[in-house]
Structure 1
């Protein structure tokens, strides 16, 4: 008798890493722990609180308007996901969330974001796993997360440096 599990593919696992140069983890963390503020830094046009308090386990955000690697120019529907914060540890600069609903084909998606101090600044690590997504290849997901995280790191770096410069000239 064949096991049901034999027919299932292994979960896809990946990791994206981006560096925020010249900025300490203590400065980056408050921007990341604002779970409902993802669209301030990540290239997701919309992030709306659905339930709970931002940064508290169990809170849920609705993210929409992003492009995926399999979208063509004629696509009329808006991509969206609901994401639930599972755990957060400010002392370790880490949080884990899951996608609980959406229309982009992600099932059993769980991700952990972690900050790691480096000699040059702060590394943001995004570890994720998901059941294989219909119509996608793992490389598409890796490219999507890598591009998004690098854009986010650059925006955070520029924002914090702008603030630092502005405050320096204010005093």
Structure 2
């Protein structure tokens, strides 16, 4: 008697004695929601992608531009695949203001492509409930400046709704874009004044 197994995400095919049987994997899939997927986009006006990229590729410098008070290196070199950063102190839409919990995550850089202005990272540990979180950031030149795109996917987060995650990323990315725009314009003005 031979037993062959072939599985996909929805079906299990058993081949026993030459008889193929396909069973829907309801029992295996029951209770598991599909991963949440989302995308946030923000525009940095009047600034080229070449000017924004050095800020984003500094993986350990996230707190300089993103609304998270702390971002420190854990291992590796900033901007090199495999490096890990520790980020803490950010607020989430589900925070209990009566508790003094500090939100934190450890994030690992998976890949980076400076020629395409893109990088991908994952959350490898944390206390905000993210499991199997992977995000890709990409810069896209526009006639008005630069668009920052933040694509993400994560297993459903206990106590959250997808809308909460979308709001969290939208607000964070828009605050970051504004801070980058103001910072680079201030730097440009200072350089003009200095010369």
- Normalising by structure 2, what TM-score? 0.86
State the secondary structure of the residue aligned to 1:145.
helix
CA–CA separation in structure 1 for the residues paired with 2:36 and 2:86: 23
User: TM-score with structure 1 length normalisation?
Assistant: 0.98
Match of 1:118 in 2: 142
1:96 positional shift: 0.1
Q: Which structure 1 residue ranges, 4+ long, deviate > 2 Å from structure 2?
A: none
Distance 2:164 2:26 in 1: 32
**2:129 partner SS:** coil
**CA–CA separation in structure 1 for the residues paired with 2:59 and 2:105:** 14
Instruction: Say which SS state the counterpart of residue 26 (structure 2) adopts.
Output: coil
Displacement of 1:77 in angstroms is 1.4
Paired with 1:40 and 1:48, the residues of 2 have a C-alpha distance of: 11
Residue-by-residue CA offset, 1:20-66 (whole Å, 9 max, x unaligned)? 00000000000000000000000000001000000000000000000
Report the Cα distance in structure 1 between the residues aligned to 2:160 and 2:87, rounded to whole angstroms: 20
State the match for 2:78 in structure 1: 54
For residues 151 and 26 of structure 2, the distance between their equivalents in structure 1, rounded to whole angstroms, comes to: 32
Q: Deviations over 1:128-159 (max 9, x none)?
A: 00000000000000000000000000000000
Equivalents in 1 of 2:26, 2:176: separation in Å? Answer: 45
Q: Please report how far the alpha carbon of residue 97 of structure 1 lies from its aligned counterpart in structure 2 after TM superposition.
A: 0.1
Aligned counterparts of 2:26 and 2:77: Cα–Cα separation in 1:
46
| Structure of greater Rg | 2
Q: Give the Cα separation in 1 of the matches to 2:162 and 2:100.
A: 24
Alignment coverage as a number of residue pairs: 171
Q: CA deviation at 1:76?
A: 1.4
Aligned alpha-carbon RMSD (Å) = 0.9
Deviation at 1:7, TM superposition (A): 2.6
State how 1:1-171 maps to structure 2 within 5 Å: 2-171=26-195
Q: CA deviation at 1:164?
A: 0.4
CA shift, 1:75, in A, is: 1.8
Unmatched runs of 5 consecutive residues or more in structure 1? none
TM-superposed deviation, 1:3 = 3.6
**Structure 2 unpaired stretches of 5+:** 1-24
CA 1:72–1:7 in structure 2 vs 1: closer, same or farther (change >3 Å)? closer
Distance in 2, matches of 1:42 and 1:94, equals: 17
- Separation in 2, partners of 1:116, 1:29: 10
